[in-house]
Amino acid sequence: MKSAILVETKKPLVVTDVDLPKKLDFGQVLVKVCYSGLCGSQISEIEAVKGTDKFLPHLLGHEGSGIVEKVGLGVTRVNPGDHVVLHWRKSSGIQSATPKYSWNGKQVNAGWVTTFNEKTVVSENRLTVIPKDFDMRTAALFGCAVISGFGAVNNDAKIKIGESVLIFGIGGMGLNIAYAASLVSAYPIIGVDIHKDKLDLGKKFGLTHGIIANSNNPKNEIYNITGNKGPDVTFETTGNARVMEQAYELTPDDGKTIFVGVPNDKVSINSLPLAFDKTLAASHGGNSIPDKDIPRYIRLIKNKKMTLENLITHEFKLTEINSAIDLFRSGKAGRIILKI
């Protein structure tokens, strides 16, 4: 089966044929992958942002949609033929051992879920069953982008009606945060990005104002919109340490800063306001619970209360994955989808 392997950090992925494990372990599920999202977490893995990668070579990808082909012993939550979302957040069910694939006689490691491969062995608790008539292309976004972005708004920030929101970075995650903030009636919802096209797209998903990041004085622009107090809640999605510092500084002393991006360097802040009413939190997947959250979002989509289709700005084949990664790095895309 075709797979994209991270063989060496800071190098292109190797797209080649990989052999599946000979049998499923307890709690494991074999899934045919239909679509996969491309997320900043994979770019961080490729760039070794968290340090030396001890598991090379290994497979990647943690959000997708697919069809269950076979289940291992102990699995009760999914059955062959089920349509499923593949997600990195834990849900109900067994957490299995991680699978071992093989390539040219060498072992290829993998986590509890991977999606940059035509077929994948997944832990039962990384799967959520969805209706068979639901679009598999948009379903892939539930694996990370939607549940993490919406969760950051609902669970981490707990935004109230009418609170003002500032979002740094209007990529796949920022778009979902803007959309979720609009659904809970936040106002204004301000996006900051270096690409005007992304701000224009964001206005279709809840942004009320857009600011080009390299403008002369974004602080004054932000304060002109929110008033001198500044935004009630600030989200940082880029992972740029300097932008993270700026996001924190722009948050007033009774406001909330939510770090969603993975920092690319050490972050330096003045911690004194945290002793009073200022709040700083790092979002970990929006504290989402996939098997509870995904059915709620599907219900909203089926009843035309929300839509995800326009979040996807580009689609690539698995064999084109390195081109997709290059586009992601350019910052000129919303959510990129891979048709597996």
pLDDT 10s digits, 251-279: 999 999 999 988 888 999 999 999 999 99
Counting residues of the chain whose pLDDT is more than 70, the rounded percentage is 99
**Cβ-Cβ contacts under 8 Å for 104 (sequence gap 6 or more):** none
C-alpha neighbours within 13 Å on the C-beta side of residue 162: 0
Instruction: Provide the 10 A C-beta neighbour count for residue 183.
Output: 17
pLDDT 10s digits, 60-96: 999 999 999 999 999 999 999 999 999 999 999 999 9
CA 288 to each of CA 7, 143, 181, 198: distance values in angstroms, whole numbers, following the listed order: 31, 11, 16, 26
Q: In what order do the strands lie in the sheet with 189-193?
A: 209-212, 189-193, 165-168, 233-236, 256-259, 279-282
CA 106 to each of CA 7, 101, 120: distance values in angstroms, whole numbers, following the listed order: 11, 8, 18
Q: Would you say how long the chain is, in residues?
A: 340
Cα separation, 127 vs 290, whole angstroms: 8
- pTM for the full predicted model: 0.92
